Chain A
Amino acid sequence: MALPPGVTAKTFTDATRLFKEAVGKAWVFTTKADVDLYRDAYSVLRGEPDERVASAAVAPASVEEVQKVVRIANEHRIPIYPISTGRNLGYGGSAPVLSGSVVLDLKRMNKVLDVNERNATCLVEPGVSYFDLYRHIQDRGLKLWVDVPDPGWGSPIGNSLDHGGGYTMPHFRNHFDSHCGMEVVLPDGELLRTGMGALPGAKTWQDYKFGIGPVIDGLFSQSNFGVVTKMGFWLMPQPDAYLTGSLTAPNYEDLIPLIDILTYLENSGVCNGMPGLGSPLFNAGAIARDPELAAIRRKPGGGTQAELEAYARGKGIPFWSAQLKFYGPEKAIRELWNYSKEKFSAIKGVQFQDGPLLKLPLTAEQIQSKLVHRTEGGEFGLPEFGIPSLEMFSIGARSPANPEPRWGHAWFSPIIPRTGEAILEANRVFADAARELGMPYDGFSMPTTYWARSFIFIFGFPVTNNPKENAKMRGYFRQIVKIGAEHGWGEYRTIPAMYDEVLNTYSFNNHALGRFHETLKDAIDPNGIISAGRYGIWPKHLRKTRA
């Protein structure tokens, strides 16, 4: 049996016996076969000596059992690592950051505790998945939507705590922002409720976020100060209809007004769905298909503006495209699209295409049609309609374009400003970096628009079962994290193998932020039992010197 670092076999055996008393023998896993189920299926360290692996797993079914387990761990100095559904694949999955930790598997805490249709809120436990919450709402015929991320098997609690995002309106897309109220088991086993939940008998725990005093909910996201056992969320009332409209803009420099107008429309609440950005000229397929364009893109800087414009003129291909999306009453959203077109008409040569108007909810036939399945060539994806799915896992799966399946993926995803200039600069910087590092790369990337006020610029890295390939990939990843930071672009979320590197880039004033985390860690979790190393926050006894 693997042991947690610094823990004797006797102490571990004693603790394991107590865990069994706390949660029942069947829910403490110590055999190699059972513990192997907690390996991160998408680990970039797969099969290497440094792969982060658990020593055991404990699966409580209630808050009281979580408290018992945490108290036992604290008394015996056993590192524990809470997971919710354990499906944060690409960001660590169900494996701990510190090898030898005992995974605290909260999957059995799978109750939807409340859904309030009148004020569109819910309260859930960590083991509830998006599929579960969706089904709970559908089974009761409630007219509510859940903003879902790509992996429907993820947990609303786990996803929001890791700053995940979805695809409906901006204030729901940011899953942490859309939460309201938490219950947390602290490292000494004490139970805490945040916001209005701190008021005994409160009637508004899921309705008002702040309660009184400092808002501490953020401390429990991307961190290791407690075990979140309940969380409330604001849901989206089912809208009447969904309308899309597309536009193209012909010239290189049009990107700048295009993004400014789009940002104005979003910040004003006119465009209330998640926009899509594209480039008919630069999409990866176009570059792969046309050697002339590929040759221009291989030049330093990816070709000059003049070269690219000459190419685009010659081919008659517009540089940029955008798809706008609107939720609401049919009459209103038709007018909002008309108003948006007026605004975009300031760009010379812009062309519009009216998309379909879909009445909501979608019918069963529509849900099964290609229209709402992008891997089938559809225009939309189910998450735009609040419907959970696993379709994104086609990425890396066996297909004609990908005959050799992959073993996972990891995302490099820095936050960049919401401007056309930033998109062009990020592409130049990362394309040059790719050339310099010898990192295979074949395109031009448009950012994704999950968040209000910023963009995420995403690189996908495949994980293979070849340690040499994975090591090379980690080397690239490390380098571009650094290059991004040198340009003022920081990661919003990352893989456990990069936690320390990424936190180190947030180094303002001699790492004041990281030092503050450590001050909190020492005060709240002096024995350092919870999720050691998560997002670069290490307990005192495991702390390394900062780079």
Chain B
Amino acid sequence: MQRTVIMAAALALGVVWAAQANAQAASRQGAPGSHGREVFDKWCAPCHGAGVGKPATAALAFKYKGSKPALLEERTDLTPEIVKYMVRNGVFTMPPSRKTEISDADLDDLAAYLSKGKPAAH
């Protein structure tokens, strides 16, 4: 078992938005300025974006070890259902997002953006 108690000072670390969004723009799929991408930039990119200091990207890189892209925007296997499930349920230290943060309409656009328009599975 891992240490169950750690004594640690809180870390002071971070991310910035606009500069990174610009830097990533060239390598990203989806229509520039699409609403789904705006939702991603606002709500997901601080953890799931590209570049240094992104905890979720780092966690997925360790999880998949190259078998899948660490960046959600580069994944080709995401369905709208998976995206919606993760946003509304969270996992591990990722909390769910409330409808006052990401509305159902925003979530539809985000799911379409990350699934590259793949139809929902039935």
Interface residues of A (CB under 8 A from B): 27, 29, 33-34, 36-39, 41-42, 57, 59, 86-87, 89, 93-94, 105, 107-108, 127, 131, 134-135, 138, 148, 150, 152-153, 167, 274, 284, 364, 367-370, 372-376, 381-384, 387-400, 402-409, 411, 430, 434, 439-448, 458-462, 469, 472-473, 476
Q: In the complex, A393→B14 CA distance in Å?
A: 10
Query: A residues within 8 A CB of B55?
Result: 375, 390-391, 393-394, 397
Can you spell out 6 A-B residue pairs with CB atoms less than 8 angstroms apart?
Answer: A29-B99, A57-B98, A131-B17, A152-B14, A383-B14, A445-B9
Decide if A367 touches B19 in the complex (CB within 8 Å). Answer: yes
Decide if B5 touches A445 in the complex (CB within 8 Å). Answer: no
Query: A residues within 8 A CB of B58?
Result: 375, 394, 397, 399
Decide if A405 touches B5 in the complex (CB within 8 Å). Answer: no
Selected from B11, B92, B95, B97, the residue in CB contact (under 8 A) with A405 is B92
Decide if A404 touches B2 in the complex (CB within 8 Å). Answer: yes
Chain B 37-61 near chain A by CB (<8 Å), digits 1 or 0: 0000010001100011111101110
Q: In the complex, A167→B19 CA distance in Å?
A: 22
Decide if B14 touches A284 in the complex (CB within 8 Å). Answer: no
The smallest beta-carbon distance between B27 and chain A, in angstroms, is 14
Query: A residues within 8 A CB of B7?
Result: 284, 430, 441-445, 458-460
8 Å CB interface, B47-79 against A: 47, 51-56, 58-60, 62-63
Query: B residues within 8 A CB of A409?
Result: 93
Q: What number of A-B contacts does a CB cutoff of 8 Å give?
A: 211
Q: In the complex, A392→B15 CA distance in Å?
A: 10
B-side interface size class: 35 or more
Query: A residues within 8 A CB of B5?
Result: 434, 439-441, 459-462, 473, 476
Query: B residues within 8 A CB of A376?
Result: 52-53
- Is residue B25 contacting chain A, with contact meaning CB distance below 8 A? no
The smallest beta-carbon distance between A166 and chain B, in angstroms, is 8
Decide if B12 touches A383 in the complex (CB within 8 Å). Answer: yes
Decide if A368 touches B52 in the complex (CB within 8 Å). Answer: yes
Decide if A389 touches B13 in the complex (CB within 8 Å). Answer: yes
Decide if A440 touches B4 in the complex (CB within 8 Å). Answer: yes
Query: A residues within 8 A CB of B99?
Result: 29, 34, 37
Decide if A399 touches B59 in the complex (CB within 8 Å). Answer: yes
The smallest beta-carbon distance between A388 and chain B, in angstroms, is 7
Closest B residue to A472 using CB positions: B4
Decide if B53 touches A389 in the complex (CB within 8 Å). Answer: yes
Q: In the complex, A389→B52 CA distance in Å?
A: 11
Closest A residue to B47 using CB positions: A390
The smallest beta-carbon distance between B75 and chain A, in angstroms, is 17
Query: A residues within 8 A CB of B13?
Result: 150, 373-375, 381-383, 389, 391-392, 394
Q: In the complex, A367→B90 CA distance in Å?
A: 28
The smallest beta-carbon distance between A234 and chain B, in angstroms, is 20
Selected from B15, B17, B62, B98, the residue in CB contact (under 8 A) with A398 is B62
Closest A residue to B42 using CB positions: A131
Selected from B20, B47, B59, B95, the residue in CB contact (under 8 A) with A368 is B20
Decide if B93 touches A406 in the complex (CB within 8 Å). Answer: yes
- Is residue B121 contacting chain A, with contact meaning CB distance below 8 A? no
Decide if B14 touches A368 in the complex (CB within 8 Å). Answer: no
Q: In the complex, A398→B6 CA distance in Å?
A: 16
- Is residue B96 contacting chain A, with contact meaning CB distance below 8 A? yes
Decide if B62 touches A391 in the complex (CB within 8 Å). Answer: no
Q: In the complex, A406→B59 CA distance in Å?
A: 12
Closest A residue to B8 using CB positions: A460
Query: B residues within 8 A CB of A440?
Result: 3-5
Q: In the complex, A398→B70 CA distance in Å?
A: 12
Q: In the complex, A372→B59 CA distance in Å?
A: 19
- Is residue B10 contacting chain A, with contact meaning CB distance below 8 A? yes
Chain B 86-104 near chain A by CB (<8 Å), digits 1 or 0: 0010101111111111000
- Is residue B26 contacting chain A, with contact meaning CB distance below 8 A? no
Q: In the complex, A46→B15 CA distance in Å?
A: 29
Interface centre among B51, B59, B88, B101 (most CB of A within 10 A): B101
Query: B residues within 8 A CB of A381?
Result: 11-14
Decide if A397 touches B56 in the complex (CB within 8 Å). Answer: yes
Q: In the complex, A150→B46 CA distance in Å?
A: 12
CB-CB under 8 A for A108 and B100, given A135-B18, A391-B55, A399-B62: yes
The smallest beta-carbon distance between A275 and chain B, in angstroms, is 12
The smallest beta-carbon distance between B104 and chain A, in angstroms, is 10
The smallest beta-carbon distance between A311 and chain B, in angstroms, is 20
The smallest beta-carbon distance between A206 and chain B, in angstroms, is 25
The smallest beta-carbon distance between A414 and chain B, in angstroms, is 12
Query: A residues within 8 A CB of B42?
Result: 131
* Pairs of residues from A and B, 10 with the lowest C-beta to C-beta distance, nearest first: A389-B14, A382-B14, A391-B13, A41-B95, A381-B12, A373-B53, A445-B7, A364-B19, A394-B55, A107-B100
Decide if A33 touches B88 in the complex (CB within 8 Å). Answer: yes
Query: B residues within 8 A CB of A396?
Result: 92-93
Query: B residues within 8 A CB of A89?
Result: 95
Query: A residues within 8 A CB of B60?
Result: 398
The smallest beta-carbon distance between A396 and chain B, in angstroms, is 5
Q: In the complex, A411→B6 CA distance in Å?
A: 10
Decide if A38 touches B98 in the complex (CB within 8 Å). Answer: yes
Interface centre among A134, A368, A393, A440 (most CB of B within 10 A): A393
Interface centre among B42, B58, B92 (most CB of A within 10 A): B92
The smallest beta-carbon distance between B105 and chain A, in angstroms, is 11
CB-CB under 8 A for A405 and B93, given A37-B99, A382-B15, A389-B46: yes
Interface centre among A29, A59, A108, A390 (most CB of B within 10 A): A390
Decide if B6 touches A448 in the complex (CB within 8 Å). Answer: no
Decide if B9 touches A448 in the complex (CB within 8 Å). Answer: yes
Decide if A367 touches B16 in the complex (CB within 8 Å). Answer: yes
Decide if A445 touches B12 in the complex (CB within 8 Å). Answer: no
- Is residue B23 contacting chain A, with contact meaning CB distance below 8 A? yes
